[in-house]
Amino acid sequence: MKKVYLLFLLINTVIFLNAQNCDYGIVLYDTFGDGWAESYVIVKVNGLDVDTLTLNNVTDDGTEMGVYLNVAIDDTIDIEFYANSAPDPQECRFKLFDCKSQNVSGTANGYGDENENITGVIVNCNNCMSGDCANAQPVCDDASINSNPNGSGYNDDLNAGNRGTLINGEHFSNWVHFKTQVDCEICLDITNPDSIDYDFAIWNGTDCPPSAQPIRCSYARMVGGLPVSAYYTGMRNTEICTWEEDVNDICGQPVDGYVSCINAVAGQEFTLLIDNWDGISTPFTLDWSFNVADPINCDIIVPVEFISSWYNCTTHTLQWQTASELNNDYFTLKIGKSYNNNELVVDNEYIVYANGNSNQLMQYEYNLNVNNAYVQVWQTDYDGASVLLNTNYIGCDEKEKSISIYPNYITDGSYVNIDGNYKSIQVYDMLGAEVYPHINDHKIFGLMAGVYIIIIDKKYKNKLIVN
């Protein structure tokens, strides 16, 4: 396992890997616009017939239609054309696009006719874009995304309960997932070289179809002889609205297609839809903007989904929780009172053996009769790779004592303890809305399932997961 050292709190840090399946796109054209009549293509994967396609002027517009082909990495795709005398088969054209919407037809002009078949295309599913939410691809870094969506997926996955302002459903679309490693602000720009109306929506989680309304979406664009940039969209930290509807929307004057950025926490998962409303084959570019370095990354694979750690000054125990474990050998508790060149000067170390493998909530504790000191929780897997999970400062003197909540992972109907004296508590959900749970006798209860941020005395920030 790759050894990675992280000097910040990691919560829910299992990161997506590149997919082994992805969507390739097949687009059929007719240069005269009256369909293919009885001409058709046979699509083969690894030598086996998987589909027969044609273009007509009844269910299609007679000019162009596209479909998706779900394939696996290293599959071989062949497309064979079979001509009929009427209409002129020379009018029939077709293209094959890879999972990034790049033309891989293998012919000089990218078209096929009765003398040009597409043969021997090897599938590559790395860093793909998908036209269907069921095969939404992971975004592994903050590099720009360039794509040319060529279809609306196998199904239109939007409905009145999840589409936000995208009232007309999908058109030419791409779906992706991404997951944050650290607390960060997420902003983005979606641009294109022509005056093409791209819209987008972002949902919490990875449900397909999305099970709730988006937390950000924009259907808006400016009109009336404006420059290409008037059709750009995305999220900016100068905007105040989370949804932008249409040209009549007054939110965030002037109407410009942009909505506010997302303040995300470590381990938060998102689904992003980018939709070409005009349905014209013009590519887009998505540029990310974050306020921290490396907020999303597929290279870091931590074998433990770490939730939190805290110290109980009454029982003198350090306690911590994990949501899952993979090949987890042991934890190391390192104790020191000072830092030198950003490294803890370790006075004592203690080993706590782990459960190895688990897919359920696990809680650990260890008696540590210490005060006014730092405690680091390290994890080591079976091949010896180690990672720093969290650092706690233990200050049990009343004048030194900080405030914390525990546990940070509870089930619906349970409560959270508040360790320390406090003056104020504010609780926010993932949409940034303040919620008002019951707080009594240093306990917080009455929260429904979800992810929350708890701020104590306007300075102690804690993440809480209610399952």
Question: CA angle, corner 186, sides to 292 and 132, nearest 5?
Answer: 130
pLDDT at 83: 81
- For 337: left if phi > 0, alpha if psi spans -120 to 50, otherwise beta; the answer is alpha
* CATH for the stretch 21-122: 2.60.60
pLDDT at 341: 61
**CA 181 to CA 267: how far, in whole Å?**
6
* CATH for the stretch 133-290: 2.60.120.380
CATH value of 1-15+300-399 in 2.60.40, 2.60.120, 1.10.10, 3.30.70: 2.60.40
Question: What would the mean pLDDT of 39-50 be, rounded to a whole number?
Answer: 89
Residue 68's φ and ψ, nearest 5 degrees, are: -110, 145
Residue 30 clears pLDDT 70, i.e. is over it: yes
Q: Using only the alpha carbons of the chain, give its radius of gyration.
A: 27
Instruction: Give the count of beta carbons closer than 10 Å to the beta carbon of residue 70.
Output: 16
pLDDT at 231: 80
Residue 65, token pair as written in the block: 């239609």
- For 106: left if phi > 0, alpha if psi spans -120 to 50, otherwise beta; the answer is left
pLDDT at 246: 54
Of 73-77, 109-113, 234-238, 362-366, the one with minimum mean pLDDT is 109-113
Sequence spans of domains, the chain: 1-15+300-399, 21-122, 133-290, 403-467
Question: What would the mean pLDDT of 226-249 be, rounded to a whole number?
Answer: 76
Return the SS3 of 32.
coil
Instruction: Give the count of beta carbons closer than 10 Å to the beta carbon of residue 31.
Output: 12
Query: How many helices and strands (H and E) does the chain possess?
Result: 0, 36
**CA 37 to CA 194: how far, in whole Å?**
33
Q: What is the mean pLDDT of the chain?
A: 76
Greater pLDDT, 346 or 431: 346
pLDDT at 332: 94
Residue 11 clears pLDDT 60, i.e. is over it: no
- Which of 141-150, 315-324, 387-396 shows the highest mean pLDDT? 315-324
User: Are 208 and 134 spatial neighbours (Cβ–Cβ below 8 Å)?
Assistant: yes
Q: Is the pTM of this model over 0.85?
A: no
**Where residue 364 falls among pLDDT bands split at 50, 70, 90?**
very high
Percent of the chain with pLDDT over 90: 11
Question: What would the mean pLDDT of 313-334 be, rounded to a whole number?
Answer: 86
pLDDT digit string, tens, across residues 289-314: 999 888 886 544 456 777 778 888 88
Of 178-187, 300-309, 310-319, the one with minimum mean pLDDT is 300-309
DSSP 244-265: E-STT--TTSSP-SEEE-EEE-
Of 46-60, 123-137, 302-316, 326-340, the one with minimum mean pLDDT is 123-137
Residue length of the chain: 467
pLDDT digit string, tens, across residues 188-232: 999 888 888 889 999 998 777 888 899 999 887 665 556 677 788
**Where residue 129 falls among pLDDT bands split at 50, 70, 90?**
low
For 389, counting Cβ atoms within 10 Å of its Cβ (0-12 exposed, 13-18 middle, 19+ buried), the class is: buried
Residue 10 clears pLDDT 50, i.e. is over it: no
For 431, counting Cβ atoms within 10 Å of its Cβ (0-12 exposed, 13-18 middle, 19+ buried), the class is: middle
Percent of the chain with pLDDT over 70: 77
User: Are 316 and 367 spatial neighbours (Cβ–Cβ below 8 Å)?
Assistant: yes
Residue 11, token pair as written in the block: 């919560």
Instruction: Give the count of beta carbons closer than 10 Å to the beta carbon of residue 340.
Output: 8
